[in-house]
C-alpha cells in the first residue's frame, strides 16, 4: 500500500464499508468502519485466574519505594571561583517500575527492595470483532478508555503458595490493581 502524501489525499483513498461482511474487493485498501467492538470470550489474568468481559485486561503492580531528589546550587567561593553544592532529599513514592537505590547518596535508611513483588501483565482478546471484521490485538493494545478493576478476595484465595508469600492484601509496600477496556 502506498503512503498518502497529504491528509486530503489519504481521505480520498479511504473506502467506507459496512461491518456486516468483508468484501474481497476491499483487500489492501484503506477502509473506514464504525460500530461496537465485541468479544466472544472473556479475557483472563492467568496468574490470578481473574476473568473480565473486556477487550484488554492489564495487571498493574506498584511498590512504595524511596525516590531520591537532587537539587544543585552554584555558589561563589570566598577568594574567587565557584562551587556546585548538591543536596539530596528522599521521599516515598508509588511506582510501577523498580527504582534503583544503590546509587543514592544516602543508601542507609533509603534502600528499596530488589525487584517488584509480582510481574505486571496484559492480556488481550484474541476473539474481538467489529461486525464481520476481526480486530487485531495490536489495535486493541492502543485503545483508550481503561477502567479500574480491583482484585476480589476470591481471586486472592486462588493464588499459588509462591504468590501468596509475596503478596499480602492491604500491605503498605505493594499495591495490586487491574484495569480493563470494556466491550
Q: Are the beta carbons of 106 and 88 closer than 8 angstroms? A: yes
58 burial class (0-12, 13-18, 19+ CB within 10 angstroms)?
A: buried
Nearest to 156 by CA among 138, 174, 181, 140: 174
Looking at the predicted structure, is the pLDDT value of residue 183 above 70?
no
Nearest to 181 by CA among 123, 96, 118: 123
Note down the domain range covering 13: 1-34
DSSP-assigned letters across all residues of 10-51: HHHH-EE--SS---GGGTTS-EE-----EESS-EEETTTTEE
Q: CB count, 10 Å around CB of 122?
A: 15
Instruction: State whether 23 and 49 are in the same domain.
Output: no
Q: How confident is residue 11, by pLDDT bands cut at 50, 70 and 90?
A: low
Could you tell me the three cell numbers for 36? 461496537
Instruction: State whether 29 and 45 are in the same domain.
Output: no
pTM value is 0.69
What is the total count of domains within the chain?
A: 2
Instruction: State whether 1 and 47 are in the same domain.
Output: no
pLDDT of residue 7: 61
What span, in angstroms and rounded, lies between the C-alpha atoms of 118 and 165? 11
pLDDT tens-digit series, residues 58-109: 888 888 899 999 999 999 988 889 999 999 999 999 999 999 999 999 999 9
Q: Is residue 10 part of a domain?
A: yes
What span, in angstroms and rounded, lies between the C-alpha atoms of 42 and 132? 19
Q: Is residue 78 part of a domain?
A: no
What span, in angstroms and rounded, lies between the C-alpha atoms of 113 and 102? 10
Amino acid at each position: 500500500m502506498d503512503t498518502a502524501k497529504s491528509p486530503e489525499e489519504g481521505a480520498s483513498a479511504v473506502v467506507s464499508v459496512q461491518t456486516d461482511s468483508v468484501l474481497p474487493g476491499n483487500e489492501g485498501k484503506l477502509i473506514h468502519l464504525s460500530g461496537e467492538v465485541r468479544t466472544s470470550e472473556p479475557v483472563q489474568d492467568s496468574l490470578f485466574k481473574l476473568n473480565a468481559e473486556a477487550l484488554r485486561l492489564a495487571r498493574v503492580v506498584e511498590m512504595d519505594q524511596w525516590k531520591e531528589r537532587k537539587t544543585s546550587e552554584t555558589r561563589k567561593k570566598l577568594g574567587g571561583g565557584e562551587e556546585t553544592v548538591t543536596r539530596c532529599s528522599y521521599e516515598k513514592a508509588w511506582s510501577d517500575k523498580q527504582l534503583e537505590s544503590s546509587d543514592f547518596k544516602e543508601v542507609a535508611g533509603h534502600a528499596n527492595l530488589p525487584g517488584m513483588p509480582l510481574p505486571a501483565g496484559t492480556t488481550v482478546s484474541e476473539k474481538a470483532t467489529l461486525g464481520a471484521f476481526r480486530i487485531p490485538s495490536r489495535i486493541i493494545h492502543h485503545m483508550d478508555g481503561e477502567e479500574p478493576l480491583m482484585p476480589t478476595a476470591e481471586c486472592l484465595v486462588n493464588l499459588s503458595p509462591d504468590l501468596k508469600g509475596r503478596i499480602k492484601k492491604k500491605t503498605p509496600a505493594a499495591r495490586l490493581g487491574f484495569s480493563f477496556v470494556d466491550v
